[in-house]
């Protein structure tokens, strides 16, 4: 018996890394899983059907239920096919975990249109397109008198939310937008019985392992944990328990964004109004120049290592 018995989940980008951990954990909790993954490299190149089928085989071998999907989340028709595949294979849909993503890092002056577009397409459009088709299904179920108890978990990042990483204009912009999309979707879809949250994972993945300097440090941390038998705080498996909890029908949390790192879970709070200055009439530029610096908050450095 698991907390997701009888539930049906779609998980995108779950052929490897964090997504694979999500798929295995949700299946272990009793969910039937649509394992969606194009099998591409970290930059989105070289599709391969193998990873999705490999995860399905792992789930089935452990006694779970799963089917593979190799549709592109960034294609409108592909996103719909993913949702239709879940309903066709298992008769319903209860959980959507949007996890698919790639990176094409580069400094703004050297980014070309293609590098920008593909990152926004896979992350932002990919999150929205699959969510939109899932939401249409849940809306129809609600209107038919079959009120869902559904859950969406999006994948954001500290990049674009609490950190501004040079070289990640496209990635940070997409992830910040996903956080905003999460909050809007939580408000809109509550009427149909759908909760929407997001998770920003800090873990060892193909993306982080390829980051200059960071990859070596994460590898060293993993080797240290293995040698000492200690807790591997950067294992991708550390993210899945929160995702499973947020996916459970008894959970009532919605419209929240969480940072998960090892044994640490923090809420990431959206934009808020800080200190304010006011004037009784039209603004004078000299007045602005004198007073605006007095209301600026101190930037707090973020260190996840």
Provide the CATH number for the domain around residue 201: 3.40.50.720
pLDDT at 212 > cutoff 60: no
Let me know how long the chain is.
Answer: 305
| 107 occurs within a structural domain | yes
| 305 occurs within a structural domain | no
pTM over 0.75: yes
For residue 220, give every residue at least 6 positions away whose Cβ sits within 8 Å of its Cβ, in sequence order, or none: none
Task: Give the model's pLDDT for residue 250.
Answer: 96
Local confidence band at 287 (pLDDT 50, 70, 90 cut-offs)? very high
Task: Give the model's pLDDT for residue 149.
Answer: 97
Task: Give the model's pLDDT for residue 140.
Answer: 98
Task: Say how many domains are in the chain.
Answer: 1
- Positions annotated as catalytic residues are 157, 171, 175
Which structural domain, as residue segments, surrounds residue 256? Answer: 8-294
Q: Where are the beta strands (DSSP E) in 17-102?
A: 32-36, 66-69, 95-97
DSSP state of 283: P
| 300 occurs within a structural domain | no
pLDDT at 96 > cutoff 60: yes
Local confidence band at 206 (pLDDT 50, 70, 90 cut-offs)? low
Instruction: Give mean pLDDT, residues 135-141.
Output: 98
For residue 181, give every residue at least 6 positions away whose Cβ sits within 8 Å of its Cβ, in sequence order, or none: 124, 127, 128, 131, 154
Cβ burial of 124 (10 Å; 0-12, 13-18, 19+) is buried
| 303 occurs within a structural domain | no
| 302 occurs within a structural domain | no
| 285 occurs within a structural domain | yes
Listed residue (37, 44, 29, 30) closest to 11, CA to CA: 37
Task: Give the model's pLDDT for residue 224.
Answer: 72
For residue 144, give every residue at least 6 positions away whose Cβ sits within 8 Å of its Cβ, in sequence order, or none: none
Please name the residue that has the structure tokens 């807790």.
Answer: 231
| 301 occurs within a structural domain | no
The more confident residue out of 127 and 165 is: 127
pLDDT at 88 > cutoff 80: yes
| 71 occurs within a structural domain | yes
In Å, the largest CA–CA distance within the chain is 71
pLDDT tens per residue across span 6-57: 999 999 999 999 999 999 999 999 999 999 999 877 667 767 789 999 999 9
Q: Are 263 and 244 in contact (CB under 8 A)?
A: no
Tokens of 20: 């694979």
């Amino acid at each position: 018996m698991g907390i997701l018995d009888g539930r049906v989940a779609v998980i995108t980008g779950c052929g490897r890394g964090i997504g694979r951990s999500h798929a295995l954990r949700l299946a272990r909790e009793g969910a039937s899983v649509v394992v969606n993954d194009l099998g591409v490299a970290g930059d989105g190149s070289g599709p391969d059907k193998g990873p999705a089928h490999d995860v399905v085989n792992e789930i089935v071998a452990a006694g779970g239920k799963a089917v593979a999907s190799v549709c592109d989340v960034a294609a409108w028709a592909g996103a719909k096919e993913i949702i239709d595949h879940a309903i066709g294979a298992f008769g319903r849909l209860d959980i959507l975990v949007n996890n698919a993503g790639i990176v094409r890092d580069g400094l703004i002056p050297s980014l070309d249109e293609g590098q920008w577009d593909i990152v926004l397409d896979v992350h932002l459009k990919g999150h929205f397109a699959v969510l939109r088709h899932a939401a249409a299904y849940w809306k129809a179920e609600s209107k038919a008198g079959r009120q869902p108890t559904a859950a969406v978990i999006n994948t954001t990042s500290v990049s674009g939310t609490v950190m501004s990483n040079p070289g990640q204009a496209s990635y940070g912009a997409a992830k910040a937008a996903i956080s905003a999309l999460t909050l809007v979707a939580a408000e809109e879809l509550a009427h149909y019985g759908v909760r929407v949250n997001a998770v920003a994972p800090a873990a060892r993945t193909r993306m982080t392992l390829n980051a200059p300097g960071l990859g070596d440090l994460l590898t060293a941390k993993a080797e240290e944990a293995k040698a000492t038998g200690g807790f591997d705080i950067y294992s991708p498996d550390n993210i899945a328990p929160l995702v499973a909890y947020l996916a459970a029908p008894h959970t009532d949390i919605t419209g929240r964004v969480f940072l998960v790192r090892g044994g640490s879970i923090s809420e990431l709070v959206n934009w808020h109004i800080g200190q304010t200055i006011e004037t009784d009439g039209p603004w004078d530029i000299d007045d602005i120049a004198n007073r605006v610096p007095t209301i600026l908050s101190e930037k707090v450095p973020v260190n996840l290592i």
